[in-house]
Structure 1
Amino acid sequence: MFESTHYTERRHKLRQQFSSGILLIPGNSHASINYPHNHYWFRQDSSFSYFFGLNEADIAGVIDIDSGEDILFGDDPDIDEVVWTGQQSSFGERAAMVGVTTLRSMLKLHDVIADARRKQREIHYLPPYRGESILLLSRLFDCMPEQVQAGVSSSLIAAVIGLREIKSEAEIAEMESALAITKEMHVAAMRETKPDKFEYEVVGTIEGIMRSHDLQGAYPVIFTRHGEILHSRDHTQQLRAGDLVVNDSGVSSALGYASDITRTIPVGGKFSARQRAVYEVVLAAQETAIAAIAPGVTYLALHKLAALIIVNGLSALGFFKGDPQQVVDSGAYAICFPHGLGHQIGLDVHDMEGLGETAVGYDASVGRSPLFGMRNLRLAKPLRTGMVLTVEPGIYFIPELIKRWQAEGLHSELINYPRFAEYMDFGGIRIEDNVLVTANGARVLGPAIPKSCEEVEAVMAT
């Protein structure tokens, strides 16, 4: 974990945004796979990690605005737990590592909340996203699980977003440590991607590198010859010479910070002429968007810029017709770029999305578009120095989407449907990096991961 001062300072900054009341931040419980004592690997709630730092189950934090106390609720293991899982430092010793000296048994949390409710003190909590957390809150507030969401604090959501979305130097260093391992994963995948291999064989190499560093994935690996499926989880396909494979994979660092990188790989080691032509369009869109990042620029504007680069490039290849700006403004471009340019990244791969996608990605200055594709933007609001973003444009030839739009006659004056039909078997291309917003622009984080056609082909040749 970070030095204790990181956590005390974060809690102090959060406390300053409230005049009274209690801020309740529960940690996660273990999640069972197929019976109670067989658990998935433990992942702490990200906001609890941010403010209280301890990576263990069944504890909770309270920030009491009126008394000035930070309180951790938890218990030392009993002898049965020691027998099965080993001796640990005491709960008090672990709490001291994050700057907390006031401790209570987890059994006392209900009494503290009940006392605050009797005194009509305001109690703030964040939206729960796991069943166990919903049940805990329903017990604490003596309500039905369905009523828990109604008590969520919008002011606490806003305060947490405002703090977590600006990354410290220590957080950036942690993310770059994850990206160094992510480079190993992607370079190994390029070298292992060969005709006749199955996708799961390469996924095994990727996941093996994570585990060799005692780390887990930040999300399930996307490695697929069907790149037109944006988030395919299937790994059963056999690779064929001439395929394109989308590899979207990242790792969770020792302190839980995510990386999220995508590269597109030609099976056989060489891009064909038509693959290269489309790839260069995606790469130009990504590099243009990264170059335009700066504080105060909206991510919506950067998305539209990337979309315009894609439309210009594909118009030259015969896919669109008419005014490129009209293709973007009408939403016609989404036939091949149906997702947003990217999202924030940090302790969550889609950072803070559990607090509400709109709350994290939008503000009063930017509303969500009703247009297909554009409405999928996870991030649209103005950028701030210290944010970390993914920049991940793509071009996808999705047969069902093309057929449906053509049958409905959508944007027929702007889309050359016969040209799109020629690419029904193409798949998709996505290129993604993690980018820090700096005072004067942007910096791509981590070591350079082969990205140009020439760089990818050079790695695959070794």
Structure 2
Amino acid sequence: MYFPSVPANLAKTLRDRRSRLAALVDFPVILWSGRSTPRNYPANTFPFRASSHFLYFAGIPLEYAAIRLEAGSLELFMDDASPASALWHGEMPKRSEIAQLIGADAAFPLAKLASRAARAATLAVQDASTYLQQCEVLNRLVSLASSPLGIDLELVRAIISLRLTHDADALTEVRQAAACTVAAHKAGMAATPGAKTEADIRAAMEAVIISRNMTCAYPSIVSVHGEVLHNEQYHHQLQPGDLLLADVGAESHMGWASDVTRTWPVSGTFSPTQRDIYNVVLAAHDACIDKIHAGVEYRDIHLLACKVIAEGLVDLGILRGDPEYLVEIDAHALFFPHGVGHLLGLDVHDMEDLGDLAGYEEGRARSDRFGLNYLRLNRVLQPGMLVTIEPGFYQVPAILNNSDRRLKFQDVVNWERLAQFADVRGIRIEDDVLVTETGSEILTAALPTQANDIEQLIQGERTSNVGWTAGKFGLKSQPRGGYMKRCREIFEKIRPQLIEERSGWFVAIEGYSGDYFVDADKAVAKQKARQKYPEGRPVIFQLKSVEQEAKEKAEYEVGDQRGREIFEQIRDELIKTHYNCIVIVEPESGDYFIGSKESVALKNAREKHPHSRLYVFCLN
């Protein structure tokens, strides 16, 4: 057990964390680290990974240890290594040395823990042997972390409130993991021309992680079968027409994770169909990152990704109809079935051992809708939160060949056109994003996302991801990741000269050239841009006055407030007979619709109010 580079201020950081916990709970807390699990016999174990909740307050990955927290103090419980263990594992730090390192107030052998366990709350660990010890020491059955009861539930809510946002030391660790992950992905791209199998590229990527004394935050996904979302097979031969999806992230030696995905062509060049779909996914990726600000609903970011993907697939002729309607009926989920991202921190899916208690704000429930069921995060963004943004496109046979879905979406999917994109099995683009006081910061921005830049990395040429110039509009050079912002800046430059004569018209902007195309018909404006820039990603704006935009925003806020007022008026009565059901409110009429599932309530609401803005609430 060695700690090669423990931060100098670790003890202070840990004191600050437990002081903040003490302000939230008034009972003692015991957290266990867990222990390694045998692979096939006791001495041959899987690599040990301490409980993330333990790590948050203890700082270092101690095995077979526990800490007791109360009123801001920390007591460490662990046994000193036996003299015989030095033969196999080397000299280990003493309990007293570790206690000093983490700023513990006292340290005891593990056998003393039971005498200090009265009234203590805890969180269940993942390994069975430690879980049995938890129940024995606390003299009660410890509920699972995803469904805690009593004071354990109080503790869960307190820890969630602390771990949702990250302190400076945590961000230092995450930045290190992110930098390592970026280097690993670049190594994978550089290794592609000489690689024969997926395993060759995986080896190149994980070699970078190991060389920096880090581990993988999760089993690497390096696959030409990107339609298998968590594919852990690496034996496939690489073929020139393949796309390789690499979802690989480093974990710092202190336990903090990064999570990044890139998709690139094995040949070094995207085919026209691959580039078309890639640019659709990239447009969703950039739009979502541009929307990240404190106060924004993450669910709205997911729905934005759905809409942008639907728009792109309509433009390519794969889907038919209005993109907003396609999202409402979940047609986009045929190709983008998962959520747009998740929390990130000590866990790659941070605190997911707590089920939806961490990912969903209190009072919200996971939807049963095809397009929302896999949404992992449904919270209002706060400064200090770390999230991933990872839209994708997949052709999953189990989804696309499902007879019920074929029937349901027969009028909105052009299956013949889709067949022309058979060389696109799966594409995902994922970055790690910090919510700041003024917007967001992409921690993995050093890894290019533009198709041309990725091709150049594979081909061994110098990339151009450091900045850009928008020509006649005089926009300042900006780092990668701000395409939507660039288009918005262009739009704000030209809006004053267009708004008087063409109010209500649409403007299609190609962000890299700075060119724009105006028409009263949205589709025509986009078509004009496509004619000049077939591989471009035009962004559409509508010419509205500042006053009109402010009015629409105010109307939305009024509707939101009115919807919440209606729900609060009916909530107490309905919860008695419809606990955990979904309520959809139409604020103008005051109508509300109840269903055991969101899709049921939504269908009923849309039948009566096909064009109204609706608000969704959960009775719990």
Alpha-carbon distance, 1:429 to partner: 0.5
For 1:100, the equivalent position in structure 2 comes to 104
Alpha-carbon distance, 1:172 to partner: 1.5
Residue 38 of structure 2 corresponds to residue 40 of structure 1:
no
Partner Cα distance (1:93, 1:101) in 2 = 12
- Report 1:336-375 matches (<5 A): 336-356=335-355, 358-364=356-362, 366-375=364-373
Alpha-carbon distance, 1:55 to partner: 1.6
Residue 448 of structure 2 corresponds to residue 450 of structure 1:
yes
- Report 1:55-204 matches (<5 A): 55-65=61-71, 69-113=73-117, 116=118, 121=119, 123-143=120-140, 153-194=152-193, 197-204=196-203
Alpha-carbon distance, 1:133 to partner: 2.8
Match of 2:382 among 381, 384, 390: 384
Could you tell me which amino acid in structure 1 is paired with residue 35 of structure 2?
A: S
Could you tell me which amino acid in structure 2 is paired with residue 404 of structure 1?
A: N
For 2:225, the equivalent position in structure 1 comes to 226
For 1:414, the equivalent position in structure 2 comes to 412
Alpha-carbon distance, 1:170 to partner: 2.1
Residue 2 of structure 2 corresponds to residue 9 of structure 1:
no
For 2:37, the equivalent position in structure 1 comes to 31
Residue 458 of structure 2 corresponds to residue 460 of structure 1:
yes
Secondary structure in structure 2 of the residue aligned to 1:25:
strand
Distance 1:60 1:146, change over 3 A: closer
Q: CA-to-partner distance for each residue in 1:59-81, whole Å, 9 max, x for gaps?
A: 1011134xx64211111112112
Could you tell me which amino acid in structure 2 is paired with residue 72 of structure 1?
A: L
| Contact kept in structure 2, 1:194 and 1:239, CA below 8 Å | no
For 2:396, the equivalent position in structure 1 comes to 398
Alpha-carbon distance, 1:155 to partner: 1.1
Alpha-carbon distance, 1:142 to partner: 3.9
Q: CA-to-partner distance for each residue in 1:352-390, whole Å, 9 max, x for gaps?
A: 11122x111111364321111311011111111100110
Secondary structure in structure 1 of the residue aligned to 2:180:
helix
Could you tell me which amino acid in structure 2 is paired with residue 444 of structure 1?
A: I
Q: CA-to-partner distance for each residue in 1:145-177, whole Å, 9 max, x for gaps?
A: 888966571111111111112112222121111
Partner Cα distance (1:76, 1:193) in 2 = 47
Secondary structure in structure 2 of the residue aligned to 1:346:
coil
Partner Cα distance (1:42, 1:365) in 2 = 36
Secondary structure in structure 2 of the residue aligned to 1:263:
strand
Could you tell me which amino acid in structure 2 is paired with residue 254 of structure 1?
A: H
Could you tell me which amino acid in structure 1 is paired with residue 395 of structure 2?
A: F
Alpha-carbon distance, 1:320 to partner: 1.1
Could you tell me which amino acid in structure 2 is paired with residue 74 of structure 1?
A: M
Secondary structure in structure 2 of the residue aligned to 1:220:
coil
Q: CA-to-partner distance for each residue in 1:214-235, whole Å, 9 max, x for gaps?
A: 2210011100001111111111
For 1:18, the equivalent position in structure 2 comes to 25
Partner Cα distance (1:141, 1:347) in 2 = 26
Alpha-carbon distance, 1:405 to partner: 4.8
Partner Cα distance (1:241, 1:178) in 2 = 31
For 2:542, the equivalent position in structure 1 comes to none
| Contact kept in structure 2, 1:33 and 1:40, CA below 8 Å | yes
**Larger RCO (CA under 8 A, 6+ residues apart):** 1
| Contact kept in structure 1, 2:29 and 2:121, CA below 8 Å | yes
Partner Cα distance (2:314, 2:404) in 1 = 18
Alpha-carbon distance, 1:407 to partner: 6.1
Partner Cα distance (1:105, 1:199) in 2 = 47
Secondary structure in structure 2 of the residue aligned to 1:70:
strand
Q: CA-to-partner distance for each residue in 1:383-421, whole Å, 9 max, x for gaps?
A: 111001100000111122111056651232322233334
What is the percent sequence identity of the aligned residues?
35
Partner Cα distance (2:277, 2:386) in 1 = 27
Alpha-carbon distance, 1:31 to partner: 1.8
Distance 1:57 1:147, change over 3 A: closer
Q: More deviation in 334-343 or 414-423?
A: 414-423
**Structure 2: which 5+ residue stretches go unaligned?**
1-5, 461-620
| Contact kept in structure 1, 2:273 and 2:423, CA below 8 Å | no
Secondary structure in structure 2 of the residue aligned to 1:34:
strand
Partner Cα distance (2:281, 2:50) in 1 = 36
Match of 2:425 among 424, 427, 438: 427
Alpha-carbon distance, 1:329 to partner: 1.3
Please report the TM-score for the alignment, with normalisation by the length of structure 1.
0.93
Partner Cα distance (2:323, 2:32) in 1 = 49
| Contact kept in structure 2, 1:259 and 1:434, CA below 8 Å | yes
Alpha-carbon distance, 1:337 to partner: 0.2
Could you tell me which amino acid in structure 2 is paired with residue 271 of structure 1?
A: F
| Contact kept in structure 1, 2:124 and 2:142, CA below 8 Å | no
Highest CA radius of gyration, 1 or 2?
2
Partner Cα distance (1:445, 1:213) in 2 = 18
Alpha-carbon distance, 1:39 to partner: 2.0
Question: CA RMSD for the aligned pairs?
Answer: 1.9
For 1:308, the equivalent position in structure 2 comes to 307
| Contact kept in structure 1, 2:399 and 2:405, CA below 8 Å | no
